[in-house]
Structure 1
Amino acid sequence: MIKNVFIFVANLFRIFSFLTEEVTLICKIDNIGDYLLFRNFLEKFRDSDFNKNRKVILIGNVAWKDIFEKYDKLSVEKVIWLNLSSLQNNIFYRYGILCLLNTFRIHTIIQPTYSRNLLIDFLVLPLKAKFKYTPLGDELNHIPAIKFKNDHQYTHIIKSENLIPFEFDRNLFFFKNLDPVFSKVKFFLPFEKVTNSKKVISFFIGSSSKNRQLSMENLNYIVNSIRNDNEYQIKILGGNAEFQIGEKLKNLNRGVENLCGELSLPETISEIGNSAVVLTMDSSGLHMAMGTGVSKVFCFSNGNHAFRFVPYPKQYKNLTVFFPPIIELAIGKHPNIVYDSFRNGSLIPIDSIRIDLAVKRILKGLRSE
């Protein structure tokens, strides 16, 4: 009953849309890494034949606002920034956003997230629009019965006949089905180039899950093993949550610089892009390194959502990934088994990776740099 009242009130705000021009609404509210693998499609969207020169409004996650403001703000006319925690936990915030969205005269809604969730459907489905596009996607973040019901409220479901595991390629398939102009879009990240006095190894130590975060012991083993090469300067990167870990690594290893929590997202991308080598867990740091074209990237992964974010497709030659032994043994000969086993997540501790063997491969890579 209360939900129906809130929706009724939100719908009343459509009165403000009657005299406005029609717009296209793009809803992309997932995390930083997801945005990095999506942002290249924004550049061509507004002027595409599909959009027909309508103004574009983006619903975005405030977590990646800095990146958007630095590189992508000219791609759209307006952004509605959302705090996902408030959206999930505050009913008044949630319906306030819905009221705001109802003030726009929406012609088309684009929902490109492959693994959409209830929050996305909450924002998109009550809105009045002539067309609503979404990938068929999967049920990873949804309740299957509800997703099946909600699918029928979209006017266009984009479905691939072939398996497309990599997130950027999923976006590519979706957008080129809207307009062929997107078929030539490539994954890249702009960054400000600088000249370093020494070759830099950036070690991005942030991760959103304990199962994907290397222990302090293993982090220190890696840093201590590579810092003796005077040719390289080691920089520790991450957010505020990693600052104390970065300080410990700096204090235990002379000459190591801790930049955790000191840089904006664009500055972090620039640090990574200007590095000769990047070490990272399976996180946004990986996509920053791959998007900026770092020549050697080493990633530690517990196999979470295998092939969606890591490993990258074979044409990306600069990436080496270290997995726990059970995945390492199977991924080369039996990739389909690995995908089926871990596509919805992995609970294997990342510290089960043979760090000693990984370090040997890293040192070999450094010597050939």
Structure 2
Amino acid sequence: MLKRLISVYLRKFKRKKSVKKHIAFVALNKEAIQHLPNHPSKNKIIILVRMDEIGDYILSRNTFSIIKNAPKFKDYKIIFIGNKLNKNIAETLDTDTVDEFLWIDKEQFKKDHNYRSQIFTNINNINAEIAVELERTSDVNLGGIIIEATNAIKKYGSSNYYLYDKLNILSDSFFNHLFPQNFELTHEFLFNQRFVNWVSDTNISITKPAINAKLLPKLNLPEKYILCMIGSSKKSKNWPLRYWIELIGQLLVCYKEEEIVLLGGNREEEFAQGILDEIKDERLYSMVSKTNLMESFSWINAASLMISNDTFAVHARVALNEKPTVVMANGESSFRFSDLGQFSPNYTVIYSKQYLEYLPKMKNADRWIYNVSSVDMATIFPKEVLDKCLELYKN
């Protein structure tokens, strides 16, 4: 308990400390942007900005067609500016709704003044009439400042949800068309539709996230396998190594015909090796760091059962099919990202004990700022996960 309290305190301290840094960063870059030319005549171009991660992109990409087909934006060119991590999926799946892509290295953008200056110049030279920040909770030092660089006449965005009002006021200042803040517990996929319909003056409903599996790479995959997504974008989402080892050992006993495949990125290589060192079985092997993004989607799509502690993979899974999926989650922003049961009947999520304990006491606004610790995931035990697997997937 003490370890968790210390962890949560440190997260709050770092968050508060970052406020001044964000404000200073924005002030510095706004000054640089002011020296860029503001062309009086604008091109019929819409810039869409989305700088967040792969899972977020998956929940947003289906709404691009709403903008593309909106009478309001007839004859407009659409340029998407985003996180370069999404390049592989976007340029494979979304060239029918986006005319041009501009990719940004987030880390370099934050650290390299010359890189930022070149990005600002490139964006300013597009000379777009309209700019839209697609994120519900955009970073002022990323999406917000990029919108500023467009010098567009119309700038659409969502009123932000920072814990600190200073940052919300700063974020809102980037836009002259602002979608109002609302603490409803709306899943991100549904919010994305609502927001884009507001921007486009349309009323179009999309049932669920969707990825056309026909566009995935054709790989030589096992006939039956259980996919273990062992990676995550944050330390607080990681399920303990010893739990993965215990679970996989039990899966090999319970499922006699299935192979067990580990999947993740370069950061998970050591983690995967830790599993392989403990479990010597020819039905267990690792594809960690051996696939690109689209190839990983092929593995996600074909798995008989998928187990994951990160939302990127489960967003892809639900967008591709309705096969059995078991997720371990800490509860952070759960209503926005991990609560995907409404989109798949064979999906279940197991939450940390701390989250389940606090949930009945939380108001809607509390769930937006719920603090998690890196130790919370250790309260989800292997037997719980195994039981859900056996319940959802009977071979």
TM-score, normalisation: structure 1: 0.88
Higher relative contact order (CA closer than 8 Å, sequence separation 6+): 2
Residue correspondence of structure 1 range 353-368 to structure 2 within 5 A: 353-367=380-394
Query: For 1:132, what is the secondary structure of its paired residue?
Result: strand
What's the counterpart of residue 190 of structure 2?
A: 169
Matching residue's letter, 2:314: L
What's the counterpart of residue 239 of structure 2?
A: 214
CA distance in 2: counterparts of 1:3 and 1:161, whole angstroms = 29
Query: For 1:180, what is the secondary structure of its paired residue?
Result: coil
How far does residue 214 in structure 1 lie from its aligned partner after superposition? 1.4
Query: For 1:75, what is the secondary structure of its paired residue?
Result: coil
Structure 1 residues 292 and 171, CA gap change in structure 2 (3 angstroms): same
CA distance in 2: counterparts of 1:5 and 1:349, whole angstroms = 42
CA distance in 2: counterparts of 1:31 and 1:161, whole angstroms = 23
Structure 1 residues 241 and 4, CA gap change in structure 2 (3 angstroms): closer
Question: Could you tell me whether the CA contact under 8 Å between 1:227 and 1:253 is conserved in 2?
Answer: no
What's the counterpart of residue 24 of structure 2?
A: none
Structure 1 residues 339 and 130, CA gap change in structure 2 (3 angstroms): closer
Equivalenced residue count is 360
Greater shift in the superposed pair: 286-295 or 310-319 = 310-319
How far does residue 130 in structure 1 lie from its aligned partner after superposition? 2.0
Structure 1 residues 360 and 150, CA gap change in structure 2 (3 angstroms): closer
1:311 aligns with 2:311: no
Question: Could you tell me whether the CA contact under 8 Å between 1:301 and 1:350 is conserved in 2?
Answer: yes
How far does residue 54 in structure 1 lie from its aligned partner after superposition? 0.6
CA distance in 1: counterparts of 2:84 and 2:345, whole angstroms = 32
**5+ unaligned residues in a row in structure 2: which ranges?**
1-26
Matching residue's letter, 1:242: E
Query: For 1:38, what is the secondary structure of its paired residue?
Result: helix
Structure 1 residues 173 and 25, CA gap change in structure 2 (3 angstroms): same
1:204 aligns with 2:229: yes
What's the counterpart of residue 271 of structure 1?
A: 299
Q: Which of 134, 153, 156 is the matching residue for 1:130?
A: 153
Query: For 2:274, what is the secondary structure of its paired residue?
Result: helix
What's the counterpart of residue 144 of structure 1?
A: 165
What's the counterpart of residue 212 of structure 2?
A: 190
CA distance in 2: counterparts of 1:351 and 1:298, whole angstroms = 16
What's the counterpart of residue 61 of structure 1?
A: 83
What's the counterpart of residue 95 of structure 2?
A: 73
Question: Could you tell me whether the CA contact under 8 Å between 2:262 and 2:285 is conserved in 1?
Answer: yes
Question: Could you tell me whether the CA contact under 8 Å between 1:330 and 1:338 is conserved in 2?
Answer: no
CA distance in 2: counterparts of 1:2 and 1:327, whole angstroms = 39
**5+ unaligned residues in a row in structure 1: which ranges?**
none
Structure 1 residues 137 and 182, CA gap change in structure 2 (3 angstroms): farther
Query: For 2:75, what is the secondary structure of its paired residue?
Result: coil
How far does residue 366 in structure 1 lie from its aligned partner after superposition? 2.8
| Cα-Cα RMSD | 2.6
CA distance in 1: counterparts of 2:371 and 2:296, whole angstroms = 27
What's the counterpart of residue 227 of structure 1?
A: 252
Question: Could you tell me whether the CA contact under 8 Å between 1:27 and 1:58 is conserved in 2?
Answer: yes
Question: Could you tell me whether the CA contact under 8 Å between 2:83 and 2:104 is conserved in 1?
Answer: yes
CA distance in 2: counterparts of 1:179 and 1:122, whole angstroms = 25
Q: Which of 283, 287, 292 is the matching residue for 2:315?
A: 287
Residue correspondence of structure 1 range 250-269 to structure 2 within 5 A: 250-251=276-277, 252-254=279-281, 255-269=283-297
Greater shift in the superposed pair: 113-122 or 157-166 = 157-166
How far does residue 295 in structure 1 lie from its aligned partner after superposition? 1.5
CA distance in 2: counterparts of 1:313 and 1:158, whole angstroms = 27
Greater shift in the superposed pair: 192-201 or 215-224 = 192-201
Matching residue's letter, 1:320: T
Question: Could you tell me whether the CA contact under 8 Å between 2:352 and 2:377 is conserved in 1?
Answer: yes
Query: For 1:306, what is the secondary structure of its paired residue?
Result: coil
CA distance in 1: counterparts of 2:31 and 2:174, whole angstroms = 21
Q: Which structure dedicates a bigger proportion of its chain to helix?
A: 2
Q: Which of 56, 65, 70 is the matching residue for 1:34?
A: 56
CA distance in 1: counterparts of 2:152 and 2:259, whole angstroms = 53
Question: Could you tell me whether the CA contact under 8 Å between 2:60 and 2:192 is conserved in 1?
Answer: yes
Question: Could you tell me whether the CA contact under 8 Å between 1:33 and 1:287 is conserved in 2?
Answer: yes
Question: Could you tell me whether the CA contact under 8 Å between 1:167 and 1:308 is conserved in 2?
Answer: yes
What's the counterpart of residue 178 of structure 2?
A: 157
Query: For 1:248, what is the secondary structure of its paired residue?
Result: helix
What's the counterpart of residue 180 of structure 1?
A: 202
CA distance in 2: counterparts of 1:185 and 1:226, whole angstroms = 33
Matching residue's letter, 1:245: F
